[in-house]
Amino acid sequence: MYTNNYHNTDLSKLKFLVTGGGGFIGSNIVEYLLNNNAKLVRVLDNFSNGYRENLVEFKSNPSFELIEGDIRDLQTCKDAMIDIDYVTHQAALGSVPRSINDPATTNDVNISGFLNMMIALKESTSVKRMIYAASSSTYGDSKALPKVEDNIGKPLSPYAVTKYVNELYADVFGKTYNTDVIGLRYFNVFGPKQSPNGAYAAVIPLFMQALKDNNAPKINGDGEQTRDFTFVDNAVQANIRGFFAPKTASNQVFNVACGERISVNYLWDSLKNAANSNLEAEYGPERQGDVRDSLADISKAEKLMSYKPQFTVREGLKITWDYFVKHT
């Protein structure tokens, strides 16, 4: 999938750590790095949330290495960073509903686990920079559109609290220990390797599974809530550009999105067209902790990281649907 090139640096001399590499975004980053001849791509994952099958295609690659471990263990984080040049920290427990049902585990993984990664980074003698997955959920109850990095509201879920705390820790560590970290506030990322399975699956794979099974999906609320849906290649690009961005980007957070505002109803209609289906959705109550509307201002990432989305939502949906049909 990754024919676009987002780096000018020779990756064959560099070693990378991808935490959560068995997950959706993490495994796509692994694919990009290996396809571009990285010297080593080490994955740290405990597979509580990711999938071994996302990594099967890489196992025969001599540059691929897997550590099965948990970021909640500090020594595991330290060991994973040995001899590594760049880290992308994607390991987390996502999902607003999951965090509402089990705030304690979400806190342990997303805050204690992140703190362990920051301590390991602080003590590492080799790592030049760490990228981490922040979240658009940090904007909380702010009604302002588009979303600009410096203007956030109050969190609407335990998950949002954890991702905001990540940003606070990253900022404090940068000022206190001179660590070099960049946070990426992802906006509703979708694409190949995103699972439709489990209680907390995201909306696009759920819609695709519904179309494949010809079972009406449930839409929360009236379906007119909007999101800045972002194809995963754009998220991969932000990580790669983040590794090598100039020092002016250090210890900051960036929106990673398309800058397109799309309703859930429009999304459903687009997927129905891709699938040549007349299936009608069912509508239910609004979901607790959800933001009503979301749209990102991506000018900061464009300016400081040379980020430029290469795929529109429509293009991404077509690629994702074709992959889904082929692989499920």
Per DSSP, helices labelled H in the chain are 24-35, 74-80, 96-101, 103-107, 113-123, 158-177, 203-213, 232-244, 264-275, 299-305, 313-327
Instruction: Tally the residues of the chain.
Output: 328
Q: Are 37 and 12 in contact (CB under 8 A)?
A: yes
| DSSP label at residue 216 | P
CA pair distance 146, 241, nearest whole angstrom: 23
CA pair distance 164, 158, nearest whole angstrom: 10
Which entry of 86, 139, 159, 186 is annotated as an active-site residue? Answer: 159
Clarify whether 159 is annotated catalytic. yes
Strand 181-186, strand 129-135: pairing: parallel
CA pair distance 319, 232, nearest whole angstrom: 11
CA pair distance 95, 159, nearest whole angstrom: 7
3-class SS at 166?
helix
Q: Are 228 and 294 in contact (CB under 8 A)?
A: yes
Report DSSP letters for 41-65, one per residue: EEEEE-SSSS-GGGTGGGTT-TTEE
* Rama region for 20: left / alpha / beta (φ>0; ψ in -120 to 50; rest): left
Active-site positions?
Answer: 159
